[in-house]
Chain A
Amino acid sequence: MAVCVAVIAKENYPLYIRSVPTQNELKFHYTVHTSLDVVEEKVSAVGKALPDQRELYLGLLYPTEDYKVYGYVTNSKVKFVIVVDSSNTSLRDNEIRSMFRKLHSSFTDVMCNPFYNPGDTIQSKSFDSIVSAMMVQSS
């Protein structure tokens, strides 16, 4: 389903980034990094709304010929980015949303772990398995 899942800290450095092993990992790093431009744009546009009305899901950040990049930003400004293959047309907005929700709840679990130091890269196995499930699901 997803070909790349990334969690990016408030300060824009990657906390977690994983892509399908078959494809060029570097390319996804560039893609995700570039998508932060649009995330920032969208967040600053949304930021004017009242906090409780703010939608965490940012929608499609930008499409490329091969991929669609979706964004999500938590209230603490941690960003989630999911990259999906463009040819995967069966994927609907709702499914992307639910993927983000799952990711968010798993991320919250990671943050709740008293042994996790906020700001460190995520090495949680359960988080990893959630992400794996997202990447495997359809293929």
Chain B
Amino acid sequence: MESHEEKPIIYTMENKPIVTCAGDQNLFTGLYGLLSQQLPREPMEWRRSYGRAPKMIHLEANFVQFKEELLPKEGNKALLTFPFLHIYWTDCCRWQGALRLHGSTDWLVVVVESDGKKKNKTNILPRTSILDKIRNDFCNKQSDRCVALLDPLKDSSRSQESWNSFLTKLRTLLLMSFTKNLGRFEDDMRTLREKRTEPGWSFCDYFMVQEELAFVFEMLQQYEDALVQYDELDALFTQYVLNFGAGGRNVHTSVFIPPVMSVVRRADGANWLGSFCQPVRAWSGLLLRRPIDMEKREVIQRGEASLLDLRSYLFSRQCTLLIFLQRPWEVTQRALDLLHTCVQELRLLEVSVLQGALDCWVFLSCLEVLHRIEGCCDRSQLEANFSHTVGLWTYATEKLKSLGYMCGLVSENGPSSEELNRTVDLLAGLGTEKPETVNSLQSPYKKLKEALSSVEAFEKHYLELSHAALEMYRAIGRLRSGRLVGKSLAEFYMRKGDPQMAQTFLQDALKSYTAEGWSLPITHTRKQIAECQKQLQKTEDYLQTSALLASDANLSDEERKHFCQEILTFASQASEGKDQCMALSMTAFAQLRELQFHPSAATVHIGAALQLELRLCSLMPVPVHLEQLVCTVLYSEIRPAPAGSQRRPALSPDGTVTFPATSPSRGAAPGPAAPALELQEIQDRSPSDNALNSTGVVCKNVHLLMRINDNPASLDPPSAAASAITVEDGAEMLKANDVTLLPGNNSIIFSAPSLKAGSYTLRQLCATVGQVQFVLPHIYPIVQYDVYSQDPQLTVEPLTESLLAGLPQRVKFTILTGNYTVKKGDALQLSNSDSMPILHSSACSACILTSTGDQVGEASVSIQSSEKVTSISLPQTPPYHTLEFQLEVLCHIPSAPARAESERLTNGEVRHRPKNRTRYNSGMASIDQKVSVDCPWSIYSTLISLTFYTPFKAQHSLLSAGKRKYIQVCLRNVSDTNFRLANQTLADHQCTPSLQLLSLNAKTHQLVYSKQCVYSLWEVKWATEPPSCLQCVFTASFSPADAPDTALKPYRYEFQIERVTTLYSVKAEIQPAVGEQHCHAGALCRLEVSITRVMDPSEAEREDEEYTESEGLRTTKLMYEVVDNSSNWAVCGKSSGLVSMPVAAMATHKVQMEVMPLFAGKLPFPSIKVSKYLAHSAPPTTQPEADSCLENDNLSLLDKGLEDQGDTASLRSRGSVHSLGSGEQQQRGPPMPRLESFSPGQVFNCSMARQVLVLPSTDDHVLEVNVT
């Protein structure tokens, strides 16, 4: 520093670059105000060296009168007092010499001309010449360093212009001076820095040099640049300390160092660090209220600064500049870093520090920074930036706390003498309060002093700080950090003997740890809570917490045993008068893992044994003896469907219910598990008639569920939940006495009550240990078992898929005894029926099965048959068992249509007639047989229906060959069984003696396979007259093919055939056209149909047929039709017509017509159909037209004769319609001719299936094929 007078300039930091003025002082004084005011008005661009970005800068200057003393001497590094520019106003001889003497080239000569002067003088000496002369005289090579200023005090445009150009010139030159002088300074500085490895180099000296540069930047208001200077110093120092600390042990050469630095070695470079390693004697904290802390600066300058001094000074400068730069939040950030760094560095350098001194220093510094920030920000800004300041608050709180602990201010008894001494030592290191804060009431210094002065004051300050930090954390949402502060507070309260306060904070913290599943903090916090609760004598809560801790795997075995013992000790205490049990949650004590039912369906009948195996995992570290383990059961009378038809969802097939594993001590890991919904059905019945009034579902734990929804983040601490535990009183309960639960899995077996039918729901599990009850309030998933009561049941079912009639069949009788006990002498009474006798053998045995299907016994069943009743006496059978036996029954195949008569059964019921039904799918006729059974357990009869199926279906047909007749019977096996068939016989029912039925069948047995037929054929022969009607009976014997030994069973089929005799024979003949040998396709051929009466009408026929008497000849009218269904022939002309046949043997009628074959080949003849023509009901005599028609045998005439009939087709259709109608209707309807077809045996077609050869038509189409 130069001299003492200049100090204040530096103090205020309001100095400006110095510009000296010499020459005409009067003139300058006149211009001074204007100049200093207008110089900063316009910014100038400042181009920088070393690639730094150019800057716009507003220049200011401190114009001082030129004195030679102002010129810096050789080697002086001060920049603040450096005159950057020298201005000479008008007269300049000796001045320049003085400047030159000091090597200053930054000067300017200003020639001020006044207008008046100019006017007075004539133009002998031109105005410019003065300037020129001065230029020539002084600035021989720097003509720009001379400026003419035109009467600046006058307000004319000319003078304004010259004034402006002067200002510009002045700025430019000033900047040039800066660039040059600062550049030179920086170069020097760098050179100095490069010498840092040389012995004797001192960081403090270098510090001063670089700080000088920072000052100038600050002076030029280039705060950013100034800050850079300090940051470089900071980094350089940090690096020194690190390397020094790393020391000889481990030289880091690879670490990253900013380019301005290079390797610093401890051995030769860092002896100057010695001063920083001196023991810390003062810990007065940062001082940020002064722009420059001159005291500290001087200490540094003298090289006597301690590490804290240097760091404090450096930080105070950085803080000042950051606040100038309006970055207060960076201050807090850096402050925290600085404090941590200092603590680390002192540790690294192994500087000896009085215990607690650093805590004081950090505490004071934190508060100082906070005060400084508060001083430059308003309230809202502060609140918005709590996240930047809260760290400092917490740090200060921690430090104060540790000071308090150290100085015995937290214990209940107050500080000991040793602690008091320590306090005194610590206070001594604070020194005296700085003058800046002496008058403020809330200075950090005063706070610390006060806090350390007494227990009460400490508490006040500590709580104040803690709550402030808590409040801020809450405001910015850092809840976890807040919890940690809270825990710290809790520890404090515990030390102070205030567990009540501590517990609140701990519970909050626990809530947050539990919610996020952090097991170690949970355990730790819970342990603290347990201590609180013990002190507060909250026995129930304490025991609950102890249970949780005893089951906590994070704790050591000893700790767990300790907590377990706490519970057991309490439990074994004799109850003092009130034997009130303490109910605790079971979740911490033991976990229900599995529950298994035996039998697995969990459904039993009344009185049956149902066992329930409980797998309980004890979480206690030691075996615990339970006096009682009770599972309460809710009974509801709802009758379940028997035999477990509906399976409960939670129940696995082997009857196990598995409970989801929860870990109470760790909290629910992936988010808190909501309590299970607990629903119960309610039914409101009217008291008078027990009718259901209303029903509904009630949720029994709405309060729990709703609470979860309200506050999803929080989980109720177990102690709070424990208070909600209520032990239900259920009438039914499962109980086990004196159970010892070993650590880990235990299996306990209960016998479940099953005396009443209904549904039993397991509700609660309660383990009693002395006075303590561990309760599992809800068993979820819901576990139920059902007890049912069942009425006895009888079922009869076929053994095979279907029962066949005609063969003995086995049926199974099954009796489910249900709640009925079959006593000795109990019998089933079956009503007999003729169509279905019960075939009983002497040895018939019955099986007795349990409800689960295990056979427990066999007994014989005796069957006695009387005329009307078959009695089956049953063996003794216990309830809920199954009795099974088989019987053989036979159902006769009904041979004749069932008679419509209703028999009365023995028991007076109307017998249900067996109904013949046809199963459409198989074509099997079925017979339903009903049997009425009287059971011993019921006064009502049980009606059992059995359906039998007829295995065969028979069809007959009459075949003719001329006059000879044959009967064919087709027997179709419609069942699934193969049968052996024997003794097919056909007999005439009427036993006509002249008639003979000649069998054409094989004599041996025949097999009828399933779904196949057997045909049998008989020729009918007669002696005298052919029978007009035949009544036949077909009988056959059958037995199942796979059981040849069994007796053959009969099968009978009755049928009747009428109109057996052949009346007419029809013969067709086709002849080719005249001259042709064969028929040709497409050529007309002649079709001749001859109809011949085969025999004389019999007596029966005579009455039956309708004859026409004409000219003494009896005739009958026949209609013929030529039908070609296969479109082989085209009939030309009429294809049908009427003929009148004389009723006499061998009477023949021939009809000719033209037909044309449509195809070549062997064509079957068109079929010819002959039917009876019955003229409308008019008397047979009045048919003249028909007669003429007959005579002419003309088809066209026939048409006429049919009067209004359009064509034969319509006639045919009408006729067929009428022939379908009944005779009576025929008579009443309009008189219409009708057709009646003959029975199959009456017309014999001789040319049936005949064929004729048709040649292709003469081919006119020649296909030429040329091969080239």
Residues of A within 8 A of B (CB): 9, 11-14, 25-26, 29-30, 33-34, 36-38, 40-41, 62-65, 86-87, 89-90, 92, 119
Contacts and interface: CB of A to CB of B under 8 A. Distances in A.
Contacts of A29: 518, 520-521
B802 to A, nearest CB: 55
8 contacts: A13-B518, A33-B480, A36-B480, A38-B478, A63-B337, A64-B340, A87-B348, A90-B252
A30 B337 contact: no
B524 A37 contact: no
A30 B481 CA distance: 9
B1119 interface: no
Interface of B: 242, 252, 255-256, 336-337, 339-340, 343-344, 347-348, 387, 391, 395, 473, 476-481, 484, 513, 516-521, 524, 669-671
Contacts of A119: 669-670
A14 B340 contact: no
A86 B348 CA distance: 11
Of B391, B476, B516, most buried by chain A (CB within 10 Å of CB) is: B516
B516 A11 contact: yes
Contacts of B519: 14
Nearest to A87: B344
Given A29-B518, A87-B344, A90-B242, 17 more contacts: A11-B670, A12-B516, A13-B516, A14-B519, A29-B521, A34-B481, A36-B480, A37-B473, A37-B478, A62-B391, A63-B337, A86-B344, A87-B348, A89-B242, A92-B256, A119-B669, A119-B670
CB-CB nearest 7 A-B residue pairs: A13-B517, A37-B478, A29-B520, A12-B516, A37-B480, A37-B481, A34-B480
Contacts of B344: 65, 86-87, 89
A30 B347 contact: no
A65 B343 contact: yes
Contact of A30 (B252, B477, B521): B521
A41 B387 CA distance: 10
Contact of A11 (B256, B477, B671): B671
Nearest to A121: B669
B340 A63 contact: yes
B795 to A, nearest CB: 51
Contact of A33 (B255, B336, B516, B670): B516
Contacts of A40: 477
Given A11-B671, A87-B344, A87-B347, A34 B484 contact: yes
A13 B669 contact: yes
Given A11-B670, A34-B481, A37-B481, A26 B343 contact: no
Given A11-B670, A13-B669, A37-B480, A86 B520 contact: no
A36 to B, nearest CB: 6
B657 to A, nearest CB: 23
Given A38-B478, A65-B340, A89-B242, A9 B520 contact: no
A86 B242 CA distance: 12
A33 B517 contact: no
Contacts of A36: 480, 516
A63 B332 CA distance: 13
A37 B479 CA distance: 7
A34 B670 CA distance: 19
B340 A33 contact: no
B87 to A, nearest CB: 52
Contacts of A33: 480, 513, 516, 518, 521
Contact of A90 (B255, B473, B479): B255
Contacts of A63: 336-337, 340
A87 to B, nearest CB: 6
Contacts of B484: 30, 34
A90 B670 CA distance: 38
A13 B670 contact: yes
Of A11, A41, A89, A90, most buried by chain B (CB within 10 Å of CB) is: A89
Contacts of B481: 34, 37
Contact of A26 (B340, B395, B477, B521): B521
A49 to B, nearest CB: 19
Nearest to B336: A63
B329 to A, nearest CB: 14
A41 B516 contact: no
B665 to A, nearest CB: 14
Nearest to A120: B669
A86 B670 contact: no
A92 B255 CA distance: 9
A86 B340 contact: yes
A52 B316 CA distance: 41
Contacts of B473: 37
A14 B518 contact: yes
Nearest to B478: A37
Contacts of B395: 65
A115 B680 CA distance: 40
A34 B483 CA distance: 9
A24 B655 CA distance: 48
Nearest to A44: B477
B598 to A, nearest CB: 33
B553 to A, nearest CB: 13
Contacts of A12: 516-517
A137 to B, nearest CB: 15
Contacts of B347: 87
A127 B133 CA distance: 88
Contacts of A41: 387, 476-478
A15 to B, nearest CB: 10
